[in-house]
Every structure is written in structure tokens, then in C-alpha cells.
Amino acid sequence: MDAESKPRPGYLWSMFHLKCPRCRRGDLFLHANPYRKISTDYVLGMYKECPVCHQRFYLEPGFWFGTTYVSYAITVVFSGFTFLLWWLILGFSLTDNRLTYWLIANGILIIVLLPVFMRLSRWIFLNLFVRYNENYDKEEGVKFG
């Protein structure tokens, strides 16, 4: 299949399906459902390289430590979004416990969505270093160490 006949996968599609940033076709994670087994190895189990374009995902030792900052940012944005939604729908008052109820609901939602946030933060962080390449089958991928 030549480069002209390959359709270019969309950026948002590859984000929601957690595909390789270089070819946007290969899977990043070994398991599609992060909730099937709750363990760090299962949730964050990744291929060493893309099954389609052979882009290395572990660019250097300790590469994934940077995802903690991305995950934190995702959590802050999510909390701001739920705060705004709660405020628009129910409102806030200092005379009752609505703020406490929002804190509890937001905390539970963050815990439930943690596997999704962790996977999404890895995808975003890898996209900072690896760009889409239409000629992924003819050129070598990004390598650091």
C-alpha cells in the first residue's frame, strides 16, 4: 500500500483510541480495557514499540516520570470542569454542605477515572516528543537513548 492510498488517521481519533503518535495506527497499550484487571502492570502495560511502525515507546530510562505532571494537569482540569458543572446545576452555598458533596463526588470520580487519566497522560506525553509521520514505513522513528 503506497503513501497516496493510505488514509490519514485523525488526531482526536488517535487520542481517544490511544494509538501510536507516529503512525496513528498501532496500539500503545497491551490491553484495550484498563478496568478488566486493576493492577498497575495491567493498566499501564505498553508495547515496547509500535506493532505497525516500530516506533520505540520507551525512549530513555525514566521517560514516563514526566507523565505525573500531565496526569496532574488532567486531574486539575477535570476538577475545574466538575466544579463548574456542579455550580451551574446545583449552585454553592456556605450555609449547607454542597461544597462537601462536590468534593466527595469529585474524589470518587477521579478515583474511578484514574486508569483512563493515566493512559491519556502517557499518550499526551509521548506526543510531545514523537510527531506524526506520513512516511513512517520508510523513515526511522525517534530514539533518544
Interval 7-16: pLDDT, tens: 778 888 888 8
49: Cα within 13 Å, side-chain hemisphere: 9
138 lies in some domain: no
Task: Read off the pTM.
Answer: 0.82
Residue 46, helix vs strand vs coil: strand
> What is the average pLDDT value for the chain, to the nearest integer?
88
For range 80-85, the mean pLDDT? 96
* Count of other CB atoms within 10 angstroms of residue 55: 22
70 lies in some domain: yes
135 lies in some domain: no
134 lies in some domain: no
Q: Which domain, by its residues, includes 57?
A: 11-127
139 lies in some domain: no
Q: Distances from the Cα of 68 to the Cαs of 1, 3, 42, 107, in angstroms?
A: 39, 36, 18, 18
Provide the grid cell at 76: 486539575
Q: Given pLDDT bands bounded at 50, 70 and 90, which one contains residue 144?
A: low
For range 124-143, the mean pLDDT? 82
The number of distinct structural domains making up the chain is: 1
141 lies in some domain: no
Q: Given pLDDT bands bounded at 50, 70 and 90, which one contains residue 37?
A: confident
Q: How confident is the model over 88-132, as pLDDT tens digits?
A: 998 888 788 888 999 999 999 999 999 999 999 999 999 999 888
Q: Given pLDDT bands bounded at 50, 70 and 90, which one contains residue 133?
A: confident
31 lies in some domain: yes
Provide the grid cell at 111: 478515583
143 lies in some domain: no
Give the pLDDT of residue 96: 87
114/71 Cα distance (integer angstroms): 9
40: Cα within 13 Å, side-chain hemisphere: 0
* Residue 64 DSSP label: G
* Count of other CB atoms within 10 angstroms of residue 114: 15
